[in-house]
Amino acid sequence: AQSVTQLGSHVSVSEGALVLLRCNYSSSVPPYLFWYVQYPNQGLQLLLKYTSAATLVKGINGFEAEFKKSETSFHLTKPSAHMSDAAEYFCAVSEGFTGTASKLTFGTGTRLQVTL
């Protein structure tokens, strides 16, 4: 069964500092991995996705993530935080090669706070 662990339910960074949000996954088959962002009282917006092509994935708003199979990780980074990055971030995994195409498994989320 697939699963996702997000380390740190709350992360606080200063504006301009590096953002690092951690995600580790477990999957019995090659995974597809996603990062979503959710702003207060809004739906989910896709930041980026890994689909077994390049291991370094670039997304929107300056975010990127690196797939590391040996570490079963897919950490999200941004070199310089902006106040507008304050939101909740979810890592998710789906098993790309099974019949359960609708089953996306989410982590519990990390709330990012950006301070002046």
Partner 1 sequence: NAGVTQTPKFQVLKTGQSMTLQCAQDMNHEYMSWYRQDPGMGLRLIHYSVGAGITDQGEVPNGYNVSRSTTEDFPLRLLSAAPSQTSVYFCASSYKLGGGYGYTFGSGTRLTVV
Give contact residues for partner 1 (rule: CB under 8 A): 9, 30, 32, 34, 36, 42-44, 46, 49, 51-53, 90, 92, 94-97, 99-109
Cβ atoms 110, 23 nearer than 8 A: no
Q: Which class for 89: exposed (0-12), middle (13-18), buried (19 or more C-beta within 10 A)? A: buried
**Residue among 41 and 116 whose Cβ is closer to partner 1:** 41
43 or 70: CB nearest partner 1: 43
Round to whole Å and give the CA distance between 113 and 103.
30
Minimum distance of partner 1 from residue 20's CB (angstroms): 19
Query: Token pair for residue 8?
Result: 């740190």
By beta-carbon proximity to partner 1, the closer residue of 82 and 103 is 103
